[in-house]
Amino acid sequence: MATALRAAAQRLAAVSDTPRLDAELLMAHALGVERPALLLDPSRFALPQDFGALVARRMRHEPVAYIVGHRDFWTIRLKVGPGMLIPRPDSETLIEAAIDYFGANGPKRVLDLGSGPGTLLLAALAEWPAAQGLGIDESQQAVDWARTNAGDLGMGDRARFRVGDWAAGVDGPFDLILCNPPYIADSEALMPDVADHEPAGALFAGADGLDDYRRILPDLRRLLTCGGVAILEIGYRQRISVSDLAEAAGLSVACKQDLGRRDRALLLTRA
Q: Which domains does the chain have, with CATH numbers?
A: 2-60 (1.10.8), 83-270 (3.40.50.150)
Residues 168, 40: Cα–Cα separation, whole Å: 50
The gap between the terminal CA atoms of the chain, to the nearest Å, is 59
Phi, psi for 189 (deg, rounded to 5):
-85, 140
Residues 6+ positions from 266 with CB-CB distance below 8 Å: 231, 232, 234, 239, 242, 243, 246, 253, 254, 255
How far from the centroid of its chain's Cα atoms is residue 211's Cα? 20
Report the pLDDT value the prediction gives residue 2, as an integer from 0 to 100. Answer: 87
Indicate the Cα dihedral angle 37, 40, 41, 45, nearest 10°. Answer: 20
Mean pLDDT, consecutive 10-residue stretches, the chain (271 aa), reads 94 97 98 95 92 98 98 98 95 98 94 98 98 98 98 98 97 97 95 93 95 98 97 97 98 97 97 78
Whose CA is closest to 139, among 61, 82, 76, 75?
A: 82
Report the pLDDT value the prediction gives residue 154, as an integer from 0 to 100. Answer: 98
- State pTM to two decimals: 0.95
Report the pLDDT value the prediction gives residue 204, as an integer from 0 to 100. Answer: 95
